[in-house]
């Protein structure tokens, strides 16, 4: 039994990868409450938890690099320090990591992240924390918070490692999501960002098969909510009911992130995905019919196995016609254990990179034009703080956290404030405005 008068040990988190990992880290941190102190500075920590990403090879390499850096610099600095590796990398590579990384004291895969407190307590010889609290636990402060509505994936995209890392699709019950939303709003969040591997399939595995539109309506009417944002919405699940809910609920941001990945029907079928460029353009027309002012984001993959020059040109033409506000462009990354890794006609790495850069150039040109179209308009902006140069900034409803640029402000306001801002200029995807 630990001495109750002794100072509690500090635990720091390093989170890599996507917003879903940020939510996982937040939940792990909340689960340590009462036994360990979660600290921001590594120098105040007795243990560091690196929550890793392993979605693609580059992410795995970054995770390995960060773990080894923490081991060689922070852990080696003082005897008794502990290093725990959590998240996607232990889920994907399992026992291989124990031999490859003897510097690590424990590995915690995604499925066991709720046991982090017990793992740490075992390492230090303390009493393990009691069972998880009945209510959802989160610690995230700030004006914007991610709200995870599902985990895992039921799709079988040929390039993707997510099903093997996070398992089959699992929707969180509506009441659980709403309870956590209330918790986040009570903690000061003004914006909730719905995330999951596939938000659009929410409810398909729940009793009564509720739809995403039902969840959107339930959340949109919560007290103290300013904005509700949808990320990772697959195109084949965008229904008129969902679009009507987005268009008619005032708190729902006119923003949609739908990963399309390509426009060539041949490439999409090899990816094991539905649709094609013509279908997607019709869908975009329907979406803009409901919400003419909507901001649209997508992701595309360049150089997938078998992609021909005609396929690459078809994708370029589609992106010119679709005129997205934001596009994430990724060169195809071969991943061990995926069907795409064994496909014939692999595109040369240099070609993949060149095609990806060409797509980025096209999308930046369009995205900058669409940003410039906002000059002279007035926008509602959620204030986030001050950047490293001392410039106040926030985001408008058409900008998701961390990926879509910001609105630079002419004076400082409190984080979480909602301000009306007139747009005066642009800097790429960033807007420059004055508070009115």
Topology adopted by domain 378-435? OB fold (Dihydrolipoamide Acetyltransferase, E2P) (2.40.50)
Q: Which residues of 386-420 are buried (b: 16+ CB within 10 A; e: fewer)?
A: eeeeeebbbbbbbbbbeebbbbbbeeebebbeebe
How high is the pLDDT of residue 337?
Answer: 87
Query: What is the reported pLDDT for 128?
Result: 54
Is-contact 192 149, C-beta < 8 A? no
**Could you give the dihedral angle defined by the CA atoms of residues 47, 48, 49 and 51, in that order, rounded to the nearest 10 degrees?**
180
Residue 429, classified by CB atoms within 10 Å of its CB into exposed (0-12), middle (13-18) or buried (19+), is: middle
Is 251 within 8 Å of 230 (Cβ atoms)? no
C-alpha distance from residue 92 to each of 88, 109, 117, 167 (Å)? 6, 8, 22, 11
In this prediction, residue 132 carries a pLDDT of 46
Give me the pLDDT at residue 58, please.
85
Q: Where are the domains of the chain?
A: 10-124, 144-372, 378-435
CATH code at 10-124? 3.40.50.12160
CA atoms of 284 and 298, how far apart (whole Å): 11
pLDDT at 396: 96
Kindly report the pTM of this predicted structure: 0.86
Report the distance separating Cα 149 and Cα 218, nearest Å: 13
pLDDT at 364: 96
Query: What are the backbone dihedrals phi and psi of residue 297, each rounded to the nearest 5 degrees, phi first?
Result: -125, 145
What parts of the chain have a pLDDT lower than 70? Answer: 1-7, 126-141
Distance of CA 304 to the CA centre of its chain: 23
| Structure confidence at residue 30 (pLDDT) | 82
Fold of 144-372: pyruvate-formate lyase- activating enzyme (3.80.30)
Separation of first and last alpha carbons in the chain: 59
- In residues, how long is the chain? 436
Cβ proximity of 174 and 210 under 8 Å: yes
With b for 16 or more beta-carbon neighbours within 10 A and e for fewer, the 315-344 pattern comes to bbebbeebebbbbebbbbbbbeebbbeeee
Q: Let me know the angle formed at the C-alpha of 432 by 426 and 434, rounded to the nearest 5 degrees.
A: 145
Kindly tell me the sign of the dihedral angle through the C-alpha atoms of 338, 341, 342, 346: positive
């Amino acid at each position: 039994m630990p001495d109750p008068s002794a100072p509690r040990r500090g635990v720091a988190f390093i989170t890599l990868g996507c917003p879903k990992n940020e939510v996982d880290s937040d939940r792990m941190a909340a689960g340590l409450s009462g036994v360990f102190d979660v600290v921001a500075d590594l120098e105040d920590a007795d243990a560091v938890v690196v929550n890793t990403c392993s979605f693609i090879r580059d992410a795995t390499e970054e995770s390995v690099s960060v773990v080894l850096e923490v081991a060689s610099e922070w852990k080696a600095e003082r005897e008794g320090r502990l290093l725990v590796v959590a998240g996607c990398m232990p889920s994907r590579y399992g026992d291989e990591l124990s031999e490859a990384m003897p510097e690590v004291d424990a590995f915690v895969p995604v499925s066991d992240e709720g046991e982090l407190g017990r793992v740490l307590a075992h390492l230090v010889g303390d009493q393990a924390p009691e069972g998880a609290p009945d209510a959802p636990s989160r610690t995230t402060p700030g004006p914007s918070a991610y709200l995870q509505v599902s985990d895992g994936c039921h799709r079988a995209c040929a390039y993707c490692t997510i099903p093997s890392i996070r398992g089959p699709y699992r929707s969180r019950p509506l009441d659980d999501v709403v309870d956590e939303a209330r918790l986040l709003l009570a903690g000061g969040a003004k914006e909730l960002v719905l995330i999951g591997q596939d938000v659009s399939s929410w409810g398909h595995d729940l009793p009564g098969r509720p739809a995403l539109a039902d969840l959107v309506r339930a959340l949109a009417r919560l007290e103290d909510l300013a904005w509700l944002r949808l990320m990772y919405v697959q195109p084949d699940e965008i229904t008129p009911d969902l679009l009507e809910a987005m268009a008619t609920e005032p708190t729902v941001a006119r923003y949609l992130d739908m990963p399309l990945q390509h426009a060539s029907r041949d490439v999409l079928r090899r990816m094991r995905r539905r649709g094609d460029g013509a279908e997607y353009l019709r869908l975009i027309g329907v979406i803009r019919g409901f919400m003419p002012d909507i901001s649209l984001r997508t992701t595309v993959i360049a150089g997938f196995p078998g992609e021909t020059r005609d396929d690459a040109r078809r994708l370029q033409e589609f992106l010119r016609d679709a005129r997205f506000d934001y596009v994430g462009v990724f060169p195809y990354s071969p991943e061990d254990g995926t069907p795409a890794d064994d496909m014939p006609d692999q595109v040369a790495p240099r070609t993949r990179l060149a095609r990806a850069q060409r797509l980025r150039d096209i999308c930046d040109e369009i995205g900058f034009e669409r940003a410039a179209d906002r000059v002279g308009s007035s926008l509602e902006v959620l204030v986030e703080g001050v950047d490293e140069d001392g410039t106040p900034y926030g985001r408008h409803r058409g900008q998701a956290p961390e990926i879509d640029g910001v609105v630079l402000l002419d004076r400082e306001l409190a984080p979480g404030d909602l301000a009306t801002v007139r747009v005066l200029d642009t800097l790429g995807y960033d807007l420059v405005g004055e508070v009115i």
